[in-house]
Amino acid sequence: MILAPLINQLIGTLWYLLPILLLAALFKSSWFKGVMGEFIVNVAAKLMLDKNEYHLIKNVTLPTEDGTTQIDHVIVSKFGLFVVETKNMKGWIFGDPKQGQWTQKIFKHTSRFQNPLHQNYKHVKTLESLLSLSDQQIYSLIVFVGESTFKTEMPANVTHGIGYIRFIKSKTTPVLSAAEVTDIVSKIANGRLTPSFKTSREHVAHVKSIVSEKQSAPGCPKCGSVMVMREVSKGANKGSKFLGCSQYPQCRGVLSVA
C-alpha cells in the first residue's frame, strides 16, 4: 500500500514528460528537418526577393513516366527558372559534381548520400519537358541549411543558407519575357498534382521503391554510383554484357556479369 502513492506519483511525472519526449523525437526526425529546411528557404525568398519579379512555387509534385518527382521550390522570373533542392544536414560535407555519392562526416561517423546535383537533375529535365525550356533558361540550385560546412570546393549553384539568394540575383540577363513568366507559372499550376497528404505519401512510396532497387544493385567500384547493364558494341567481345557506371563517361568503372 505504501508503494501505491509512489507509483501514482511516478506515473504522473512520466505523463508530463511524455509530450517533451515526443517533441524531442519530432525535432530529430528527418521529416521535421526537411520541413524546417524548406521553411528557411521560403522565408528567405519572401524577404529578400521582389515578389513582383520572382514567383515562388512550393512543394511541386509532377507526374513522370515512371511515377512522380517532387520539387522543393521553383522560383520563376524573367532571369530564368530556378529549381531549388534543400538539404538540412550537419557536419562536414565532401563532394564533387561528377561523383554519384557525397560524404557527410560528423566527428568519427561517416555516411554517404546521393549527389544532390544528380538528384535535382531529374527535376530540371521534367520541367524542361513540361515547359519547353532550354538549359539556358533553367538553373539547378542546391541549398544546404543547418550546421553543415563544405570541406571541398563547391560549384556556384551549391550554396549554404541564404547564399542561394546571391546566386539567383547574380543572374541579371533576362531570358524570359513577362508573358512567358506568366505562362510558366500557369503551366506549373495546371501540371502539378494537387498538394495533399495523399500525394506526398504516394510519392514517398515511389521513392522508397527506387531506393530499394538501387540498394539491391551493385555500386560502382570507383565512385559508388549505380551500375547499369551495357553491351560491348565492337571488337572480339561484341554483344557480351557488362555492368558500367551510370556516370560514364565521367567515371569508367565496370563490373563483369557472372
Report the pLDDT value the prediction gives residue 155, as an integer from 0 to 100: 94
Least confident of 60-69, 193-202, 226-235: 193-202
Report the pLDDT value the prediction gives residue 207, as an integer from 0 to 100: 41
Q: Is the pLDDT of residue 196 over 70?
A: no
Reported as a pLDDT band with limits 50, 70 and 90, residue 10 is: low
Q: What is the pLDDT of residues 118-152, one digit of tens each?
A: 989 989 999 998 899 998 999 999 999 888 999 99
Report the pLDDT value the prediction gives residue 117, as an integer from 0 to 100: 94
Reported as a pLDDT band with limits 50, 70 and 90, residue 43 is: confident
Q: What is the pLDDT of residues 214-230, one digit of tens each?
A: 555 567 777 777 777 78
Helices 30-48 and 3-28 pack at an angle, to 10 degrees, of 50
Mean pLDDT of 173-197: 86
Reported as a pLDDT band with limits 50, 70 and 90, residue 18 is: low
Percent of the residues in the chain that have a pLDDT greater than 70, as a whole number: 74
Q: Is the pLDDT of residue 209 over 90?
A: no
Mean pLDDT of 223-247: 78
Reported as a pLDDT band with limits 50, 70 and 90, residue 204 is: very low
Between 2 and 162, whose confidence is greater?
Answer: 162
Report the pLDDT value the prediction gives residue 9, as an integer from 0 to 100: 60
